Amino acid sequence: MDDIELLREYRASRSEQVFATLVARHVGLVYSAALRQVREQHLAEEVTQTVFIRLAQKARTFREGVILSGWLFRTTRFVASETMRTENRRRRREQEAMETLYESQGDAPWARIAPLLDEAMAGLSIADRNAVLLRFFEKKNLKEIGHALGTNEDAAQKRITRALEKLRSFFERRGKVISASVLAGALTTSAVQAVPTGLAASVTAAVMLSGAAAGSTLTFGALKFMTGMNLKSAVAVSVCAVTAATTLVLESKQVSKLRAKNQLLAAQMGELQKSRTDEVTLVQAGNDELDRLRREAADVYKLRGEVAQLRRERTELAKFAKENVRLRQQIKPGVAEKSSGESEDIDERKEVEKQVFIAKLNYNKGWLLAFMLYAEAHEGRMPKDFAEAQSYLPIEFNNQYDPAQFEIVYHGVLREIQNPNMIIVMREKEPTQALGPPSQVTWARAYGFADGHAEIHSAPTPDGFANWEKERMVSSQ
């Protein structure tokens, strides 16, 4: 059976014999990689035991297509790194150079590349690293390698060749010049070191007693303690079993405490989530209110602009107020013309007439603005008379005309008017005779419309406004 089938069998049966087969198949690779990194035999044995304990713990997580030797290589590198950090903290400055470990073997190429081999292997891609491991560490032939990698023999050979060239380039950058063929020979003869007698049996026993084979979840500290024991001794086995049981009891209590804390944190999280929801609601309500205030502020700015315009016009109208009174006293209703010898200049009279019209227009606009403010405060409905809207007039409104001279002709809701620029809402009660050339007589009347603008309309007779007004007035609802 291949590695994945053995793992599947081990997951199902928890058989010590099945796991021992896996250990015997890969212990050389793991021990050799560990020895190259930790440089000491007893540390390499400890790393080897730890790696296979983790394999037993993670046996359920392996999927189809995983190459076990690749996983073991990576895990060995991680465990060896952890072990060396622990040793370095303990020994601090007592680091020992282990180059002599390889020089004593009399293999010069291997002695040069061995200290850097694991770093070089880690720099390869997963596929390249698996190919090298299968070829030189597990002594697989090209057919077996191609099958494991999901390809054919030629592709497997090319991948191994490329991987060797990458390793050679790595060593060359580190000052270790070696040819690809010599590198292949060194890996073939020295990549897997001789395993100490009894190490495979010791690893298997450690895994079985660690609790991993029974599915227990011992802490890493307990596993390290167990792997450091002399598993060959029956007395040590008994002590290890007692220690494991004690650890399980302590861990059970710790798990209960953690579960209670977790429930407390979950309750607190629920309260925080509810509080956050309430805050979001409040923020949204605040945003809505802010939008409303902004709209109202925009309306206020618009009204302020119109008030400023009225103030400017008031100054101009004051100049013509006295002249307007004087002219009204001179003009008699029903007079069709004046004598040709009259000294008053026609152009001057037209200019005065124009200013009178402007004054009436501005007077109408002031009241129209007051009507709109009143309607905004009363659900859109127009006032019944001028007294109701008087408090909405601008402070400096030039009230030069008597409101009794005008009348409100629309008392309904402003927003119900479809064409506000065409609908009359107030007008001058009686038309007045317009100032014109002595040979002509016309009549004029001031009107205010629903959109806020005002007009002066003229007719040849006092009764000539009826048809024009009929088209521009609507009944109040």
* 363-394: pLDDT as tens digits: 999 999 999 999 999 999 999 999 999 999 88
Q: What is the percent of the chain where pLDDT is above 90?
A: 42
pLDDT at 94 over 60: no
Lowest mean pLDDT among 240-244, 323-327, 353-357, 390-394: 240-244
What confidence tier does 26 reach under pLDDT thresholds 50, 70, 90?
very high
pLDDT at 321 over 70: no
Per-residue exposure over 198-226, b if at least 16 CB sit within 10 Å of its own CB, e if not: ebbebbbbbbbbbbbbeeeebeeebbbbb
How far apart, in whole angstroms, are the C-alpha atoms of residue 193 and residue 35?
9
218 or 351, greater pLDDT = 351
Lowest mean pLDDT among 108-112, 140-144, 179-183, 196-200: 196-200
> H or E segment at 26?
helix 16-38
How far apart, in whole angstroms, are the C-alpha atoms of residue 224 and residue 296?
74
Residue 438's pLDDT is 53
Lowest mean pLDDT among 39-43, 82-86, 351-355, 390-394: 351-355
What confidence tier does 406 reach under pLDDT thresholds 50, 70, 90?
very high
Q: What is the mean pLDDT of the chain?
A: 81
pLDDT at 295 over 60: yes
Chain-centroid distance of CA 411 in Å reads 54
Three-state DSSP class for residue 131: helix
How far apart, in whole angstroms, are the C-alpha atoms of residue 405 and residue 298?
34
How far apart, in whole angstroms, are the C-alpha atoms of residue 60 and residue 7?
8
pLDDT at 95 over 80: no
Residues 6+ apart with CB under 8 A from 121: 73, 129, 132, 133, 167
* 249-277: pLDDT as tens digits: 566 677 777 888 888 888 888 888 887 88
Angle at 198 between CA 193 and CA 199, to 5 degrees: 55
> H or E segment at 104?
none
- Mean pLDDT score, 406-421: 91
Three-state DSSP class for residue 470: helix
pLDDT at 248 over 90: no
Residue of 408, 467, 398, 435 lying closest to 324 (CA atoms):
435
